[in-house]
Amino acid sequence: MQKLQNREIVFSQSFLVPKGELVSFECQIRSSQFQVEITFSQEVSGSEPLIEWKLESGVLKMVFKNWKSSLGTSLKKPAKLGDVDNLPCGFNAAHYLIGDIDYVHIEIYCGGDY
């Protein structure tokens, strides 16, 4: 088991994503398995980077908007996604835009504080 402070790391992976492509993976938290999809959007000029997420038909859909720094961008601290099996769950992400490639590392956590 890997831990970050008081959070169990249940998923940790990097992806090199060509422009316009979708990342899709499965994640298991305790007895619950779910699908995650990640897309990137650079449509809003002048806006701060943000991540929007929603659960839709059993799929956690995450949209990274305006994550476009070649020097790197990340959340300042893990963000809470919700609760699974009565435990808080969250994530953190780091991102680099390398030409037309989105390099993203995402970790998903179970338990702990957010």
Confidence category of residue 114, pLDDT binned at 50, 70, 90: very high
Are 70 and 98 in contact, with CB atoms under 8 Å apart?
yes
Q: What's the confidence (pLDDT) of residue 44?
A: 63
Q: What's the confidence (pLDDT) of residue 58?
A: 86
Q: Distance (Å, rounded) from C-alpha 77 to C-alpha 92?
A: 7
pLDDT per residue as tens digits for the range 41-82: 987 667 788 999 999 998 999 999 999 999 999 999 999 999
